[in-house]
Amino acid sequence: MRRKLALLAPLALLWAPVAMAENNRCTVSVSSVQFGTYSALRLGDVRTTGTVVYNCTQASPITIAISRGGGSFLENRRMTQAGFDLAYNLYLDAAGSIMWGDGTSGTQVYRDPAPAPNTNMSVPIYARVPANQRLAHTGPYDDNLIVTINY
């Protein structure tokens, strides 16, 4: 079964329910991923985190996938503002070596083979905006993503 979540302005995650499994029920909440103010003069990448919290009634395997949004998995996702882009990406690890996606194009999904029943399980979303990007426009940049929980 699936539960879909949407990632919106600038990377705030919202969820909307989809069909529930008959024998298992999962609830999900997501904290926002906010990068704050980006400066092209900043030395180093901008890093931040968000969180997915899920709670299932049974210890059934789950996966959590995040869509590509703007851009692609082969390069970077893209936040946009007035037609201009700012590259970013989301990761399963703090080092930024495992891109969180839908399992295609070298990305991985989060997997939990047996979540503890009736327990809030917290998964960090590691996010990074690479340094040295030239901004053509000031103001908020955002992207739209779908987070899918399969259980």
Domains of the chain: residue spans and CATH: 2-150 (2.60.40.1090)
The pTM for the full model equals: 0.82
User: What are all long-range contacts of 11-14, with beta carbons under 8 Å and residues at least 24 apart?
Assistant: 11/35, 11/50, 11/79, 11/88, 11/127, 11/142, 11/143, 11/145, 13/50, 13/52, 13/125, 13/145, 13/147
**Using 50, 70 and 90 to split pLDDT, how confident is the model at 22?**
low
- Give 36-94 pLDDT, tens digit per residue: 888 888 889 999 999 999 999 999 999 999 999 988 888 899 999 888 899 999 999 99
